[in-house]
Amino acid sequence: MLSFVLVATLAGAAACRQKTPAPYAEGAGPTPAALLSLAAPQTHAMVVPDAKVVLNRVARGNLAFLAQTPERFRGSVQVSGNELVTLAVHEDGYALRYKLDAMPVGFYHGPRAECAIRAVLGIDMSQDDLVAAVLGGAPVIAGPHQVISQGWDDEAAVEKLVVANGTHVEELRFALQKGSWRFVGARLWIRNAEGGKGQKLWSLDHEGLHAVGKATLPDKTTIKSPGKRKDNLVVISYRARDLDPAFAKGSAEAGADEAGAEAGPDDGAWEGDGAEGWEGDDEDGWEGDESPTPADASAAKPETPSEPPPGAAAKPEAPRKPALPPVFVIDGRGLTDRGDLCR
């Protein structure tokens, strides 16, 4: 009898589940190309001086981070002013200050490697995907894209676009808010031999979308990936954001100024008392780790380049690589050097 009542209750709940009809006439929905264009990061750079984070594999605490498209990120988790972990990834590699107990405490560093992200977050996510996610966008798989399906989900009240390339299948979700389509979530799988969904890698959801300057950003971002016993979970709840950071204005000097401005005094502002306080800067190298200039170097006069002989063609200059802002550089001061985590 109890079983019958339980089954009847569940059936009734399913039958009463609210469904939302499609907000467009049949055949009049958004095109795949239009939806894909909405999945881009909402801003090219961001400073988040005050957020909360849950890393259920390792920690939960206060989070501060910097991000810049396409692949620069630096984030630090602290509890009561004590650094737990600081991760920096960029085009030159990665560095990780680690003070938790899931692996030996120390400083890890090496070339670009996604295993550093996996070690901290528990998520199989590339540098580019991580940056896209924290900047309010979708980590979209590389093209060319094959459109597998598209349609309105009346229970989730979202438009679902499923695309694939040669290695992965991705579902992108969009919600209609105030007359505009907004990216709100994604799911990623490895593509199996039959061309369908194989192993699931992660899911991403943006919640509480609202205007921040000219961008539309979430109050909370949740990322999950399957674990051995339960899903790995990362939840970021944002409190303050700067979408026009000095480090992104195109000069290394601006980056150094940004670092100094964000560092501030050790006044506990990390806990949410102010948006300008980054604790631990004097111990974890927030301002970059440039070697001191030798005393005689500043006095040396640069040599005047010799002019090419008459009639000789000028050698074209190679395109200059954009300088990495110092704010994305950390060092291992105070920690044992553990080398490359991903070797």
In sequence order, what are the residues at sequence separation of 6 or more whose Cβ sits closer than 8 angstroms to the Cβ of residue 288? 255, 256, 259, 326, 327, 329
Alpha-carbon gap, residue 259 to 327, rounded angstroms: 6
Looking up tokens 């001086």 gives 49
* Predicted pLDDT at 212: 93
Alpha-carbon gap, residue 319 to 339, rounded angstroms: 32
Rg of the Cα trace of the chain? 24
Q: What are the b/e assignments for 186-206, b being 16+ CB within 10 Å?
A: bbbbebeeeeebeebbbbbbb
The pLDDT tens digits of the residues spanning 247-287 come to 988 644 444 444 433 333 333 333 333 333 333 343 333 33
Query: In the 8-state DSSP scheme, what is residue 270?
Result: G
Query: What distance, in Å, lies between the first and last C-alpha atoms of the chain?
Result: 59
Looking up tokens 């999950």 gives 224
Evaluated on CA atoms 138, 141, 144, 147, the torsion sign reads negative
Domains and their CATH numbers in the chain: 32-289+326-339 (2.50.20.10)
Q: How many CB atoms lie within 10 A of CB 302?
A: 5
* Predicted pLDDT at 309: 60
- Taking 50 as the pLDDT cut, the residues of the chain under it are 1-2, 4-11, 13-15, 251-301
Omega within 30 of 0 (cis) for the link into 70: yes
Q: Three-class SS of residue 320?
A: coil
Contact indicator for 148, 160 with CB cutoff of 8 Å? no
Closest CA to 88 of 61, 110, 59: 110
* Predicted pLDDT at 34: 95
In sequence order, what are the residues at sequence separation of 6 or more whose Cβ sits closer than 8 angstroms to the Cβ of residue 142? 165
Looking up tokens 């979700």 gives 173
* Predicted pLDDT at 249: 82
Let me know the angle formed at the C-alpha of 19 by 15 and 25, rounded to the nearest 5 degrees: 140
Token readout for 196 is 């369908």
* Predicted pLDDT at 300: 46
Task: List phi, psi (to 5°) of 247.
Answer: -65, -20
